Structure 1
Amino acid sequence: SSPCYSPSSDQRFWSTLRRRVDSLVENRKLVDRSLPAGENCEAVDLTSRLKGDSMLLLRGFDSVAESLSQLSNNLDNALQGAKKLNKPPAISESEAQEISVEAESDDKREQKEEDSQGRGIKRKLVTPEEEESKKYQDTTFKEMDRIKKVKTLAISMAAKASTLARELKLIRSDLGFMQERCALLEEENTKLLLRNVPPDEDDDLVRLQLEALLTEKSRLANENANLTRENRCLHQLVEYHQLTSQDLSASYEDLVRGICLDFDSHSETADRETTTTTTTTPKANLSGFSKSLDQCFSDDDE
């Protein structure tokens, strides 16, 4: 008997495979819906996505392993059928009955011929032509028996070959489907691997943001340098105004004191003049200090 690949087993295989695919699609949808939204939860989102995708891959590989096991069983059945084809096929009961009936009829006919020939021998002697005809008939009967047996063997071999060809076509279609499924799983795996690596567009955006931050940093550094220079100049102006105000107040007080003092004491006035000359700032120094301030403001403007 040839290996049976019943339609019920075929339906079970495709139904289980369809259930697997449907479960994978539903799990993928549930994982996509359950992903957390928000910019602060990117790490949690990535880990959950990776876990869901890894589970999907594991389930897909499980389905592929199951289908491959079923395919290996089918191949084993086909190999057993091929081995059985090499053996001499067993003749069915109907064929055996036909052969036995034919053999009995041949025996009866031979017995009748022998009886008739025995009766003829009693009546007359057997001629050589009759012996040759008898031998020819025996050989033809034997050849006909061999031809019938060969015919039955050829019919059974053709039936088994047709069943084996159908099974091989089914196995080939299953292999094509499994190859397509493996290609889809490989594409999903590559997509998952590429998800972990940032794409080129993100790299360009990050680079542009870094360049903008560096330019802003340089601009702020220049502004800070300008402000420190202006602050230093303002401090110098304050010191200059403080010095000029002190010189004016000191000279005014000396003038008032010189008017009020006794002019007879010449030595005291001389001493006061020396003190005023030492305390007052020279005009040359004041002009030089103002020039230095003008140079500082010109540098800032530049």
Structure 2
Amino acid sequence: MAAPTIDTEVTYPAGTVTSEGTVVHVEPVGGDRWAVFLDRTAAHPVDTAWPDQPADRVTLSTPDAQYDGVEVRVAGVQDGTVHVGDDLPVRTGTEGWVFAVAHVVHADPPALGDRATVTVDRGFRTALSVAHSACHLAALALDAVLADRWSKPVPEDSLGRPAFDSLAIVRSLIGEYRSEDVYRIGKSLRKKGFDPGAFDDADGIADRVTGLLRAWTATGGPIHVVAEDSRLSARRQWRCELPDGVAAIPCGGTHPDALSDLVDPTVAISVEDVPGARVVTMTTTLTPR
């Protein structure tokens, strides 16, 4: 079946947890599983380029059926062929492809033209959203705390500090009221002028990052996700108003409306020395609201 244009309009960057849309395509994806494409959805999928935030938990409802446990995946279309989730061979935004949100159901799919309601698990979305913003803030706070541990000029973050986070990060994972960032300090970072001894007192670094995080969240400043348009493949940016200025980080995830939504942020840091490198893991936790 040739796929029509299924370039989904996404509303989750604005924080929406429900949406109404029309079924524009269905695609078999193995067994009794079908990918359902809507022209509009509030569902957030896992990003293909940086899969740090899990997909939303979603229910899909039509006039004739309700589908629970829907898998939300990124799909790409090229030359009429649809690739869903792990079968997608390129990153979201690759030129020559059209990208959309696939709602994978485990039963007979709805019909083309059906109206469908997407309902996102609000509690799970909230837990991930505040953790994602806390992750970004912790990264910026870590950059600030480590600013005097560089001996050479390097690229800076949006607040004007040496960008340790973006230069050293190898993995990030967002969970419910929790995030984990893993950094590698190897030969390349040392050549750039970073002092690996900065983490000899990991607990001291963690305490300073926590203190800065709590000072920032106490201001209650607004948080925004700015998107160039409503397509899934559009570039989006997280922005947050801090006493130090407006922080900005490219991001395709979901976020709360204000710093006041982040309760009691706390950072812990562990260090492991491996052959040729030092691996640093920063864990940021929040108190559920």
Higher helix share: 1
What's the TM-score, normalizing by structure 2?
0.20
What's the TM-score, normalizing by structure 1?
0.20
Higher strand share: 2
